[in-house]
Chain A
Amino acid sequence: MLRFIAMRLVKAAIILIAIVTLNFFLIHAAPGDPAAVMAGEAGAADDIFLEQLREQFGLDKPLLTQLGLYLGGIIQLDLGFSYRQQMPVADLIFDRLPATLLLTMTAFVISLVLGTLAGVLASARVGKWSDTLISTVALLFYATPLYWAALMAVLIFSVQLNWLPGFGYETVGGNYEGLDRVIDIAKHLILPATTLGLFFMAVYMRMTRASMLEVSTLDFVKTARAKGLKPSIIQRRHVFRNALLPVVTLAGLQAGQLVGGAVLTETVFAWPGIGRLMFEALAQRDYNVLLGVFFVSAAMVLLFNLITDILYRVVDPRIRAS
């Protein structure tokens, strides 16, 4: 297991270096002076700052030396400086990261739990109206743009019904403390996390349903049935456990999508995470922040993949043995 984790960490490091290299070439491929690109919107920075950037990244030196300098900076967690916000990019991102982690993790848990439950339910009632209903709803969620679902949720639950706040991370000027603050944040979290989870709920539901149906035709399930086990026990112990495997794999693969979706959800709900930071950086063409968020979200995905890989090995004894 340790060897496996070590191998995966090496692989993750290689991918991260590849992403940094990609970022580096993107800065150089962009139209205009790389120093101006790094400084943000052309013309926004003064000459002294541009000169400083040229010096720091050796922009008059050969491309490979420049790449070395750039990589060296990233290894020391220096993601550059946001001229627009007058702050190091790394600080900007790490300030916002907890909010995004809270949002994506909650959305992930909601979608995984509700998605698999709905999938199991639908597979148990194949062809009946409840299966049709669940499958149709999943199909609809699958086709709905995240940001539109978010806007409609604000319109219905926040503007019309006034049940939940549709804006921000906590009540401005609320000054809640302790448990009250947790409840306040939780209230603000419900709409963004649910809308972010809708699409993934549909994905997991479809996967679970298909997987349950497939596993239930396998020989060992027939054996269990022939032994006279109760159908509910067969479903839970034999079918569900095995049907879960492809869902876990899929969940790992979907991590990147979740981070991407956070950009849209956080934009609509003014959620103060790195997705919202990315949206703000877009308007200002603050490329250092954009590339920094891209890098950190890739790192998040790699971490997430590692966790699901480990989970997979825990769930499936066959892989552990091999």
Chain B
Amino acid sequence: MTDFWKRYQRNRGAVIGLIILLAVVLVAVLAPVLFPQSPWKMVQRPFLPPFAMERFPLGTDTLGRNVLAGLAHGAQVSLLVGLISTLVSLVIGIPIGALAGYFGGWVDDALMRFTEFFQTVPNFALAIVLVAIFEPSVQSIVGAIAIVSWPPVARLVRGEVLSLRSREYVEAAILSGQTNATIIWRQILPNTLSPIIVLASLMVATAILLESSLSFLGLGDPNLMSWGYMIGAARTVIRQAWWLSFFPGLAIVLTVLALNLIGEGLNDALNPRLSRKGK
């Protein structure tokens, strides 16, 4: 663990990313305490510019709602949707990849054609169609993001399993009569964990971008304040009120950037054997 941290902190960007992410998490957790009122509530006159009133440092939106409160509550939605949809993608992608890599042959062929199909289909368009048809809600958004995001997981796991399968310790496990399920679950999958963790951290970032894009188009959960929704609602008034789209966008950039940096740091820390060319 200390080794892990030592290697991780050698990547300066990754440390900065971790600090930013912790700050965002803190804001998300404290949102109900800092802004106990609903972020949908009108609190001041509309279009109050930022830094004009101390109580509303980022101003108010088209309906007089507190922008800062919206940002804090939006952080919850972004992080939760990003995390949960990534977990669901892992639950879909890992078994498919593991089965394809372990059994090979026609199982591999069938599962990989299936994966390829989902990789070829334009994934944002599919996500839009899915959320529109099943009505926007946290569940449909998480489901849609997971359905368009699992293929890289399956391909990664398949590749790893394929190379681990022929290792001696796996052959030993086969000879000792362990069942296929035990071998995959106990012997092989634990050894594929590092690349999966790295990929997952990057997937959370992509999921946050996807969620915000859907909300921007009006496909967010109508009961939850989110960053994408805030920008979408401010789109038509960009000429009068730049701050309404500027601050939520900045929040997205910082969060996604932090997660990408963390992903690189995790890669350095978990795959120390890879040479760090040019860094």
- A and B co-occur in one complex: yes
Interface positions of A (Cβ within 8 A of B)? 15, 18-19, 23, 26-27, 29-31, 37, 123, 126-127, 131, 139-140, 142-148, 151-152, 154-155, 159, 209-210, 213-214, 217, 253, 255-257, 259-261, 263-264, 267-268, 278-279, 282-283, 285, 287, 290-291, 293-294, 297-298, 300-302, 305
Given contacts A282-B132, A287-B132, contact A259 B122 (CB under 8 A): yes
Interface positions of B (Cβ within 8 A of A)? 13, 117, 119-126, 128-130, 132-135, 205, 209, 212-213, 216-219, 228, 231, 235, 238-239, 242, 245-246, 249, 252-253, 256-257, 260-261, 277-279
Asked if A15 and B132 sit within 8 Å, CB to CB, the answer is no
Asked if A30 and B238 sit within 8 Å, CB to CB, the answer is no
Asked if B128 and A278 sit within 8 Å, CB to CB, the answer is yes
**Which residues of the other chain, A, contact B261 by a CB distance below 8 angstroms?**
139
A246 vs B128: C-alpha distance when bound (angstroms): 30
List 28 A–B pairs whose Cβ atoms lie within 8 Å, in order of A's numbering: A19-B121, A23-B129, A29-B133, A31-B135, A123-B278, A143-B253, A145-B216, A145-B231, A147-B213, A147-B216, A148-B245, A152-B249, A154-B238, A210-B277, A214-B277, A253-B119, A257-B122, A260-B122, A260-B125, A261-B124, A263-B128, A267-B217, A278-B125, A278-B128, A285-B132, A298-B122, A301-B120, A302-B120
Asked if A301 and B209 sit within 8 Å, CB to CB, the answer is no
Asked if B117 and A15 sit within 8 Å, CB to CB, the answer is yes
**Which residues of the other chain, B, contact A300 by a CB distance below 8 angstroms?**
122
**Which residues of the other chain, B, contact A285 by a CB distance below 8 angstroms?**
132
A31 vs B137: C-alpha distance when bound (angstroms): 14
A203 vs B126: C-alpha distance when bound (angstroms): 22
**Which residues of the other chain, B, contact A210 by a CB distance below 8 angstroms?**
277
Question: A150: nearest residue on chain B (CB-CB)?
Answer: B235
**Which residues of the other chain, B, contact A291 by a CB distance below 8 angstroms?**
129
CB distance from A112 to the nearest CB of B (A): 19
Asked if B133 and A287 sit within 8 Å, CB to CB, the answer is yes
**Which residues of the other chain, A, contact B277 by a CB distance below 8 angstroms?**
210, 213-214, 217
When A and B form their complex, what is the total count of cross-chain residue pairs whose Cβ atoms lie within 8 Å? 143
A261 vs B122: C-alpha distance when bound (angstroms): 10
Asked if A256 and B122 sit within 8 Å, CB to CB, the answer is yes
**Which residues of the other chain, B, contact A151 by a CB distance below 8 angstroms?**
231, 235, 238, 245, 249
**Which residues of the other chain, A, contact B228 by a CB distance below 8 angstroms?**
145
Asked if B257 and A143 sit within 8 Å, CB to CB, the answer is yes
CB distance from B211 to the nearest CB of A (A): 10
CB distance from A259 to the nearest CB of B (A): 5
**Which residues of the other chain, A, contact B239 by a CB distance below 8 angstroms?**
155, 159
Q: Which 4 A-B residue pairs are closest in the complex by CB-CB distance? A: A260-B124, A148-B249, A256-B122, A143-B257
Asked if A145 and B129 sit within 8 Å, CB to CB, the answer is no
**Which residues of the other chain, B, contact A302 by a CB distance below 8 angstroms?**
120
A23 vs B129: C-alpha distance when bound (angstroms): 9
Asked if A294 and B217 sit within 8 Å, CB to CB, the answer is no
Given contacts A214-B277, A257-B124, A263-B128, contact A18 B133 (CB under 8 A): no
